[in-house]
A and B are shown apart, each in its own frame.
Chain A
Amino acid sequence: MAGIYQFEFILWCISLLLQVTVFIYLLVSKKFRAYPGLAAYLGINILQSLVLYCFYIAWGFKSPQTKRAAWITQIPVLSMRAWAIADVCRLLLNRYAGIWAMAWRILAVLASALLLGSILIAGHSWDKVVFNLNMSLEWTTVLLIVVVFLFARNYEIASSPIVRTIALGFLLYSSFAVINATILNHWLARYSDAWNILGTLSFLASVSLWLSAVLKPVPVRKKVAMLPADIYQTLAPELNLRLRTLNDRLSRLWNPEGHRP
């Protein structure tokens, strides 16, 4: 294998094998219907690995063509990852129509803002643009997952262990990628070999988590009985008004001038 160190190549093979296992299992067990985002993401990842393998053989591991191919093939991979994460959000919240309708809009705005920010600060040179964009997308992944679970927590929505494990897989990988990319940015030349190995290791851990998640039976999603819409429309403003009144009065009480009539 031109350019690829043996240890890294073994890791890469194990990672690919694990991905293929999860992907085939999802297809054969028809669980891809329950987790379409994850299945698509793994499918595209496998394809990327095969394409890059061909590039390594043809041009070598450190050639500019291979590097460019590696960055370009990241685009569909990241798109599929966005789908997989949207899928996690859907699995977590979509039984609650109102909350889900609100949450996906907020998450879409948040994701768009982060993406726009990423593009604006990505720089101008080709290498820097893709690298910075990739790092920003990892940040976006981490933030989105944390926000969506905070959302669920706020509304006391219980998450199934499968959704949690899938989310944890993405979170771990992206968190590690952020740290890894920061180090790479600082010590580019000295760190690049270790960067690949550590990146593969963290991905391996994530795929193992996804495998453990998809092996569990798909939980039955019971229908949730909804309240009539007018209950919320009437009571939400009332509740806020009461809280505001309370805060105003507490504030006056705290401030000595508040005792004046």
Chain B
Amino acid sequence: MNVLFLLPVVLIVALLLFVFLWSLRTPRKPAGSLADAASLEESGCRHATYSPQIKQALSGADLEYVATNGGDSLARRVRRERRRIAFAYLSALREDFDRLLSLGRTIAKLSPEVVALKEAERLQLTAEFLWRCRLIELRLLLGMATMPQVAGISDLVSSLTIRVEAALKELGERAAAAAQMSSSVNRGGLNAV
């Protein structure tokens, strides 16, 4: 008895059921609220402050100095270590952006009007961003990215993180003001999300 005709349907249904169950999982971070938005500015986006150190760590001059004075073996070890640090740094910066995106979603959630096109665009941009990040990380992992490229990434993310920081600061202030305003009108309703 040939049951292969059933396979595509069963696979699609199983996939949809899996997606449904996945969507029911509790998010890693608790659902955002106005108070969370207000506290984001204080807690998050601090990785950009390490940008000069990262840049220093990835500078070619440093590595040349180590190679000249400490030998090739030490230089290789230092390069490996520094690559690991760059990797961790990139991952931390991605967390910053994740936080920013989460804040964006929280704002959309708590807004009386939401524009579908803007939300769709953000979804698409987020997917693109994550995909590119993964590619660059993979390149780093495989040692395919040269040190100037990694330094370039560092420059890029740190400059953008500074802009994100500014945005977060503004968001935090505005969210805090809105939270204050709302709590004076409807005390206790802030964390009802």
Contacts and interface: CB of A to CB of B under 8 A. Distances in A.
A105 B171 CA distance: 28
Given A149-B23, A225-B192, A155 B109 contact: yes
Given A240-B118, A243-B129, A253-B153, A227 B110 contact: yes
Q: Is the interface of A mostly helix, strand, loop or mixed?
A: helix
B142 interface: no
B111 A225 contact: no
A96 B108 CA distance: 9
B102 interface: yes
Interface in A140-155: 142-143, 145-146, 149-150, 152-155
Interface string A62-97: 000000000000000000000000000000000011
Interface string A150-179: 101111111100001001100100010011
A101 interface: yes
Interface stretch (A8-16, A39-47, A113-121, A228-236): A228-236
Contact of B125 (A146, A159, A228, A240): A240
B6 interface: yes
Interface of A: 96-99, 101-102, 105-106, 142-143, 145-146, 149-150, 152-159, 164, 167-168, 171, 175, 178-179, 182-183, 186, 222-229, 231-233, 235-240, 242-247, 249-251, 253-254, 259
Interface of B: 5-6, 9-10, 13, 16-17, 19-20, 22-27, 29, 31-32, 34, 97, 100-102, 104-116, 118-119, 121-123, 125-126, 128-129, 132-133, 135-136, 139, 149, 152-153, 156, 160, 163-164, 167, 171, 174-175, 178-179, 182-183, 185-186, 189-190, 192-193
